[in-house]
A and B are shown apart, each in its own frame.
Chain A
């Protein structure tokens, strides 16, 4: 029984192959092996949401996902979602609404918020709060973050009607 595995997966659209220890969780793999330090590590036991990334299109906890379990999967991080422009509206709204201060939780907030914006265009403030319940912010409080996401949702609804 070997303590290393070869892992091949797609990260932000690029196929990568590395040798990893099974104990390495996805977020350490992304940060330490691939240098993608946009996703943050907070609590490392699934509570804070700072490590939220997308695997095969759904959001997961990077700290509760083993890298070896992502064999053959497509991982998207805040870097890739920024480059592709998918996050552009949310990033602008976070900036305008002052929805970040230290920025530690922001990558996770953005990835979780994008999931809601895409899957539930009619989400209310209440639903925004529910969807972000697994993402902690210790600086701004949540009001500005909910404001920013609501701004994007309202904007998108207007665009859709036009």
Chain B
């Protein structure tokens, strides 16, 4: 299908962009890479009156290490993260997760800020940000505020973003003594995962400390599996976290997999991830 008609603006500054979003309210949508939004437009699942293209705004790009944090601008493309030496060195989890995002042609356009703002429960970056305890820099006419990823994702496509506010950057604490693993189960490469897991821990003498397990596809939002994390804390890799995961996750059945199947697969991923983190 073809998208419904909309107006288009390409502001040069954040101030101008926020002004447009404020003036047009719910009628307006931000477009960056457009890899989810244009598909939704074509399918007529979205019909905004105005698209505010933020690609020309300076200061929303770039990857840098600032103090004890890796900072990634909202406009950084998935592919840039995948190929960045700085990311591989300072936050291997992101480099491990990037190749799982759709396909190269999509990763060349799609942005990390867009993925965070959309908050698709099956997306890779939101789960990674939960596991990494990232913080988002959000900007609006009122200025900047910082919101922890763990307070940001509120449910299905729902976030702490206020009207006329946009994601400017993602800040990730450096964890030099942690190991990370990113795993997904999908029927075909590049498909949305049936279930996926971003896992981090600090291994020490065969035991895992500061265990973090964040799931995608485990419910209507990215989910930090707190009970499973607690059960795995300070121990050698657990073989079975199914009871804990049943409390943490609430996967939705789809055409191919029952909720129980997804829970089982989540446990399989946890077992694999913990073993890999301790190895």
| Contact residues, B1-45 vs A (CB, 8 A) | 1-10, 31, 34-35, 38-39, 41-43
Q: Does B104 contact A (CB under 8 A)?
A: yes
- Count, chain B residues at interface, CB 8 A: 35
The smallest beta-carbon distance between B131 and chain A, in angstroms, is 24
Most buried by A among B3, B38, B106: B38
Question: Which B residue sits closest to A28, measured CB to CB?
Answer: B2
**Is the CB of B145 closer than 8 A to any CB of chain A?**
no
Binds A, one of B49-57, B68-76, B133-141, B205-213: B49-57
The answer to whether B59 has its CB under 8 Å from any CB of chain A is no
Whether A69 contacts B190 by the Cβ 8 Å rule is no
Instruction: Please state if A66 and B105 are interface contacts (CB–CB under 8 Å).
Output: no
Find B34's partner among A66, A129, A133 (CB 8 Å cutoff): A66
Q: Which residues of chain B in 155-200 are interfacial with respect to chain A, using CB atoms and an 8 Å cutoff? A: 188-190
Q: Which residues from chain B contact A23 at a C-beta distance below 8 Å?
A: 2-6, 41
**CA separation between A107 and B53, bound complex, in Å?**
29
CB of B187, distance to nearest CB on chain A (Å): 12
| Distance A80 CA – B51 CA, assembled complex (angstroms) | 31
Task: Provide the residues of chain B in CB contact with A134, threshold 8 Å.
Answer: 102-106, 190
Given contacts A23-B2, A134-B102, A63 and B7 within 8 Å (CB-CB):
no
Interface residues of B in 89-117 (CB under 8 A from A): 99, 102-106, 108-109
Q: When chains A and B are docked, how far (Å) is the Cα of A23 from the Cα of B55?
A: 17
Minimal Cβ-Cβ distance residue in A for B2:
A23
Partner of A45, one of B6, B39, B103, B109: B39
Q: Bound complex: CA of A15 vs CA of B7, how far in Å?
A: 25
* Contact of A44 (CB < 8 Å), options: B9, B10, B34, B42: B42
With known contacts A1-B7, A45-B43, A69-B55, A64–B34 Cβ distance under 8 A:
yes
- In this assembly, does A5 line the interface, its C-beta being within 8 Å of a C-beta of chain B? yes
With a cutoff of 8 Å between Cβ atoms, the chain B residues found around residue A59 in the complex are 104-105, 108
CA–CA, A5 and B9, complex, Å: 10
Is A75 interfacial (CB 8 A cutoff)?
A: no
Interchain CB contact under 8 A, A3 and B38: no
With A and B bound together, what is the CA distance between A129 and B104 in angstroms?
A: 12
- A45 to B, closest residue via Cβ: B39
Which A residues are CB-close (under 8 A) to B39? 45-46, 64
Chain B residue with the shortest CB-CB distance to A71? B10
Closest A residue to B38 using CB positions: A64
Within the complex, the shortest CB–CB distance from A19 to chain B, in Å, comes to 13
Question: Roughly how many angstroms separate A61 CA and B104 CA in the complex, as a whole number?
Answer: 10
- Assess whether A1 is in contact with B2, with CB atoms less than 8 Å apart: no
CB-based nearest B residue for A25: B38
Q: Could you tell me which residues of chain A, from 39 to 87, have a CB within 8 Å of some CB in chain B?
A: 44-46, 49, 52, 58-61, 63-66, 68-69, 71
A61 touches B109 (CB 8 A): yes
Bound-complex Cα distance A71 to B12 (A): 14
Query: CA of A52 to CA of B107 in the docked complex: distance in angstroms?
Result: 13
Q: Is the CB of A2 within 8 A of B106?
A: no
How far does the alpha carbon of A59 sit from the alpha carbon of B38 in the complex, in Å?
17
Shortest A101–chain B CB gap in Å is 21
B35 touches A21 (CB 8 A): no
Q: Which residues of the partner chain B approach A65 to less than 8 Å between Cβ atoms?
A: 34, 38, 109
**Across the interface, do A129 and B53 meet the contact criterion of CB distance under 8 Å?**
no
Question: Could you tell me if A44 and B103 are in contact, using CB atoms closer than 8 angstroms?
Answer: no
> Which of A1, A21, A60, A115 makes the CB contact (< 8 A) with B109?
A60
Beta-carbon contact of B34 and A58 below 8 Å: no
The 6 closest A-B pairs by CB, nearest first: A134-B103, A22-B8, A1-B7, A133-B189, A45-B39, A23-B3
Can you spell out 9 A-B residue pairs with CB atoms less than 8 angstroms apart? A2-B7, A3-B5, A23-B5, A44-B2, A45-B39, A60-B109, A63-B42, A130-B99, A134-B190
